Structure 1
Amino acid sequence: MSDNGEIEEVKKEEPKETAPIHKKEESKKKKEDINPIKEEKPKPDVKNEIQKKKSKKKDNKGIKKLWTDGENIEKKKAILILSVIGLIFILGLAAFYYFGIYKYSPKPKDETIINIKNSYILAKEEPKIFAQVLVDRPQEPRTEESPVNGQLFTKSEMEEMMSRRPVAVMVNNHAQARPQSSLNSADIVYEALVESGITRYLAIFWSQGPKKVGPIRSARQYHLEWLSPYDPVFIHDGCADTDNPRTDACGNIYAYNIKDIATAGSWRWNDGVRYAPHNEYTSIASAWDIAENRGWDKFPTDFESWNFKNDADQDQRGDGYRYEIVFHNRLNNAGLYDVTWEYDSTTNSYKRWVGGKVDIDQETNSQVTAKVVIVQETSIYSAYDDKGRIIVDTIGQGDALILMDGKEIEGSWKKNTRTDRTTFYNSNGDEIQFNRGRIWISVISQSLGEFDIIEQ
C-alpha cells in the first residue's frame, strides 16, 4: 500500500470523539515517521535575531573604541617618554659643555702676572700714559697736477697713474641709451653731432678706472682727431667706413696707428629697458689690463698739458646763469639733444640737463656735472653720402665761450695738426687757465648750432 493510502486509511479510522492525549501523541509520531522529509523547522524569532545582531554590533563598536583609545594612550605615552629622554639628553650635553669644557678650559695666560719667590722684589710698573692714544698717520699731500685736467694727486697716486694710458671711449647719447654709466668719472668729455641731429660723446678716462662705462657706440673721423693728442687706448663699437678720407674713421684708425681695442672686454647688459645697439658696456680697468698685455702702458711722454688754477675766491666769482645749447636747429628731434647747464655756486661747478631732463650718471646716481664748460664753434657740413654723415672741422681756429667760476669768458680756440691738443684763449689772446676738474667741451656748428644765456 502506498504512503498516501496509508494516510487516508488512518484518517478514516479516526473516531469523532476526543481521543486520549497519549493516542494523539502516538498519531503525531506516526505522521512524523511517514513524512520525515517535510519536517518543518521551527520559525526563528525575527525580532530577537535583530536585537541580537544590534547588540553584537554595539559590542564590536565598544571593543573597537576601547582598542583605539588604548592605542592613542600608548602613543601618547611613547611621545612623552621620548620627549623626556630628549630633554635629558640636551641637559646632559649642556652640563658636559659647561662643566667639562667651558669651566675647566685653560685660560690665556695673563702676561701681567709674574710668579716670584720671597727673595725677589717686584718693582711698581709705571703707567703708560699714551698707550691708548691713536695717532693718525699723516696724509700724503696732494702736490702732483694731472696734465689732463689739472686735478691734484699725491706722489704715490701720480706714480700709479703714470704707469697707465688714458682710455678714450665712444659713449652713446641716443635717448634710448640714457642714463649713461660713469660720465662723472671721466676727466674730459667731448660732445658733438653725428647723423640726424643726434649727439655722441667721446669720454677720456685716466684718473679713475670705473668698472662699467657706456653704452658704447661707433666712431667718426673727427673723434679720432680729438683723441689723437692723448695717444689713448681706444674703445668703440664700429666706425664709419667710407672712401672719403674726411669721413673714413675705420681706415684712419689703422692709418693713424691708434691703440685700438674696439669691443674687447665689452658685454651686453639686458636690463629690460635698453636693447641693442644701446646696451653695450665696457670697463676701464679691463681696458688697462688688455693694454698692458699689448705693451700699451705708460702715459705718453710728449703730452701737451693745458694750464690750470685753483677755483676763484668766493668774492671773485660771477652770479652764474642757466645756459642752453642747441646742436641742430633744423633737425631738432623735439629737443631730445638740447642741453642746459646751470651754475651751482656751492660747488663752483655746473649741473647738466639733457632733453629737458636731469642728466644722471647711473653708476653714482648723481647729476652729471663739470667744473668747466667750453662751447666751441666750428664748421660742420654734410659729407653728401648715402648715410647722411657730416664733416667737422677740428683743425684750424674759431670762436669759443668758456663757462667757469660763474662767469662767461669769450675767447677762441686753435688746433694746428691732428696730434696737437686744442688750445683755448681769452679775448686778449692769452691762454686760458682752467679750474681743476672735469672739462666738458660741446662742439656746435657755426650755422646750425645755438647758444643762449637764460638769466635766473
Structure 2
Amino acid sequence: MGRGTRGQRTTTTVALLAAAVTAALAAGCTSGGGTGDDGRAPTQSKQGVSPSATGPSALVVKIDNAAAARPHTGVDAADVVYAEQVEGGLSRLMAVYATRLPESVGPVRSARESDLELLRQFDRPTLAFSGAQRKLLPLIDKAPLRAETPGSAADAYFRGSGRPAPHNLYLRPERIVPETPGEAALTTGFRYGSAPAGGTATDSETVRYPAARFTFTWSDSRDRWLVGMDGTPATTADGERMAAATVVVQYVKVRESAYRDFLGNNTPYTETVGSGKATVLRDGRAWDVNWEREKAADGTSFTTGDGAPVNFAEGQVWVVFAEAP
C-alpha cells in the first residue's frame, strides 16, 4: 500500500459481501425484553463457570454499532475495542474492560461464533451480550467463559429511553463484575512502550466494510487518533470525541460461517488465529508490521519486518479486523 507524503491513507476496501445492503437492515432486528436481537435467543449463565481462580477476569461486552445505536455509552472506558464485520457488511464492536469499569455500557447486542475464538486469549472472561442464535448457544455453553445476558442477570441490564429496541439495551457492569479486574486480566499479547523506529507520518486511516467504515484521524492537541464512523465523528453519550492511543488494522481471513441472520444474510467468521499483515498507528505515524497468534489461547504478537516487537502507546487500543487482500 503506497503512502507518499503526509496525508489521507485509505486501506483496501473489504469485499466480503456482494449484495447491496439497505439501511433497513440495521433496524430490521427483532426486539423484546427477554430475547436477543437478530432473531437470537438469550442464554443462561453456564453452571459451574466462575471468574478465574488466579484473579478477576476481563469483562467483554458486545456493542451495537448501527447508526441508530450511536452515540455509545462507556466505550471510552474500555482498554481494548475490537471492530468486526457482521451480517450485511455492517460493523459491531467488542469492548474489553480490565483497568476500569464504567457506570453503564451499551447498547449491548448479540454474540457471534468468531467471538469465541477471539475470547480464548483471556482466562475465563465474562462475556456480556444480548443473546445469540439458538444453534450457537451450545458452543457458548462449552466455551471457557462466563456468559451473562438479560436472561441470566436481569438486574444488570436496563432499557434506555430515547431510542427504539433493540438499540437501547444497556449493562451496569458492577452488577456482574463487582471488582475491577486489573491490568493482569489483559492477556492480549500487546506490548506497550517506546515507538519502534521508522514509520510514516500519517494524518488519517480509513477501513471500509461493504456497508460501514472507520476513519482514524490524528490529533496533535490530544495526542490521540480521533474515531470516525461512517463519515461522522464518533462521540460518547456525554458528547466527548472518542479517541484511541493506538489503532491496529489487522488483515485477517473473513469467511462464511454456518450461521445466517433472520433475513438470510450469512454471518461472517473472522479468523484471528494464524498470521498476517497489519498496520499499527501511533503518535501520528504508521508502521506496516506482521501479526501472529499461534493458538486460540495465545495473545497476538506484532513485529516489524526484522522480527522486533512493536510497542503500542499507553492508552486505549482499537483493533479493526479487515479482510486480507
Q: Are 2:100 and 1:205 aligned?
A: no
The 1:399/1:240 distance shift into structure 2, 3 A limit, reads farther
Pick 1 or 2: higher relative contact order, CA cutoff 8 A, min separation 6: 2
Q: Are 2:53 and 1:191 aligned?
A: no
Aligned to 1:258: 145
1:386 Cα deviation (Å)? 4.5
| 8 Å Cα contact 1:377-1:444 kept in structure 2 | yes
Q: Distance in 1 between matches of 2:240 and 2:185?
A: 34
Superposed CA offset, 1:91-135 (max 9, x none): xxxxxxxxxxxxxxxxxxxxxxxxxxxxxxxxxxxxxxxxxxxxx
Q: Distance in 1 between matches of 2:192 and 2:157?
A: 34
1:197 Cα deviation (Å)? 0.8
- Point out the structure with the larger strand share: 2
For the pair shown, the structure with the greater C-alpha radius of gyration is: 1
How do residues 17-166 of structure 1 correspond to structure 2 at under 5 angstroms? 164-166=56-58
Q: Distance in 1 between matches of 2:159 and 2:164?
A: 9
How do residues 37-436 of structure 1 correspond to structure 2 at under 5 angstroms? 164-231=56-123, 232-242=125-135, 248=136, 250-263=137-150, 264=153, 265-271=156-162, 274-289=163-178, 303=187, 305-310=189-194, 319-328=201-210, 332=211, 337-362=212-237, 364-383=238-257, 385-387=259-261, 388-436=266-314
The alignment partner of 2:84 has SS state of: strand
TM-score calculated relative to the size of structure 1:
0.54
The alignment partner of 1:222 has SS state of: helix
The alignment partner of 1:239 has SS state of: coil
Q: Distance in 2 between matches of 1:303 and 1:352?
A: 25
The alignment partner of 1:361 has SS state of: coil
Q: Distance in 1 between matches of 2:107 and 2:248?
A: 24
| 8 Å Cα contact 2:196-2:311 kept in structure 1 | no
Superposed CA offset, 1:153-189 (max 9, x none): xxxxxxxxx9643210000001111111111111000
| 8 Å Cα contact 1:205-1:284 kept in structure 2 | no
The 1:444/1:209 distance shift into structure 2, 3 A limit, reads same
TM-score calculated relative to the size of structure 2:
0.74
The 1:404/1:286 distance shift into structure 2, 3 A limit, reads same
The 1:303/1:385 distance shift into structure 2, 3 A limit, reads closer
In structure 1, stretches of 5+ residues that fail to align are: 1-161, 243-247, 448-456
Q: Are 2:315 and 1:437 aligned?
A: yes
Q: Which amino acid aligns with 1:266?
A: Y
| RMSD value, Cα | 2.6
Q: Which amino acid aligns with 1:177?
A: A
1:433 Cα deviation (Å)? 1.1
Q: Which shows bigger deviation, 299-308 or 277-286?
A: 299-308
The 1:255/1:384 distance shift into structure 2, 3 A limit, reads closer
The 1:233/1:386 distance shift into structure 2, 3 A limit, reads closer
| 8 Å Cα contact 1:317-1:406 kept in structure 2 | no
1:358 Cα deviation (Å)? 0.9
The 1:174/1:413 distance shift into structure 2, 3 A limit, reads same
Superposed CA offset, 1:130-163 (max 9, x none): xxxxxxxxxxxxxxxxxxxxxxxxxxxxxxxx96
Q: Distance in 2 between matches of 1:395 and 1:358?
A: 31
| 8 Å Cα contact 1:412-1:424 kept in structure 2 | yes
1:252 Cα deviation (Å)? 2.0
Q: Distance in 2 between matches of 1:441 and 1:322?
A: 15
Q: Percent identity?
A: 23
Aligned to 2:30: none
In structure 2, stretches of 5+ residues that fail to align are: 1-53
Q: Distance in 2 between matches of 1:229 and 1:383?
A: 21
